[in-house]
Amino acid sequence: MESLQKHPLTSKYKSTFIKVGLVSSLGLAHFFGQASHESNLLPKVENLNYKADALIEGFGRHRISIADARKYGRTATQKANQEAIANIIYGGAWGKTNLGNTQFGDGWKYRGRGIFQITGRANYEALTKWAKSKGFNVDYVANPDALLNEADSIIGALWYWSVRGIQKYAEQDNLLAVSKIINLGSVGAKGAPKGLADRVAQTNKFRKIFK
């Protein structure tokens, strides 16, 4: 528990870290290293300010048509319609299957928020259920913007870390596995995680803090 006194956030939210069992120096170094890379430890809302061409390249025509990409994407003469973009790329059959977005507008309402970006109605529901089981009186389905508050962003990040089984690999000091889960979705994903060099650097920085 001594390690929790070594950083302002772990000291301030000590009981929250204890509730989820993230107390070891090694686990904390990996958690903060990855969180620092992803968001500089600040809760953020997803930026959907995409160019028209980037929408097709990034999400494919099975999620957004060329016509809609041109209509809502950013161009030299128009701003991106971020709400429309979110409802398209996170909606429809894909959004229902992958994110649990069942109602029109869920794509925008449950766009990514937090230290680690939490996206989709199903994830907001799962987070709320998990948080209540830990004794927190919260409802992120009703109030998704709460994840932009510091305390709630910590809860959200710890849920993300816990339900994805990341702590197991952090305790093994397997930085590549941790990075793959966060950036690529699973340990077995092919390819190198984006920003791996910085993830290593940030984790090493926090090793010194939590040693």
Residues 160 and 206 in one domain: yes
What is the reported pLDDT for 173?
97
Mean residue pLDDT across the chain: 96
Q: Render pLDDT for 170-182 as a digit per residue (tens, 0 to 9).
A: 999 999 999 999 9
What is the reported pLDDT for 1?
76
- Please, how many CA atoms are within 13 Å of residue 122, restricted to the half-sphere of its CB? 10
Domain assignment present for 136: no
What is the reported pLDDT for 2?
85
d(CA 1, CA 24): 7
Residues 39 and 57 in one domain: no
Range of the domain at 92: 52-109
Domain assignment present for 22: yes
Q: Render pLDDT for 105-155 as a digit per residue (tens, 0 to 9).
A: 999 999 999 999 999 999 999 999 999 999 999 999 999 999 999 999 999
Domain assignment present for 122: no
Total number of domains constituting the chain: 2
**77 C-beta neighbours (distance < 10 Å), count:** 5
Beta carbons of 124 and 99 less than 8 angstroms apart = no
What is the reported pLDDT for 110?
98
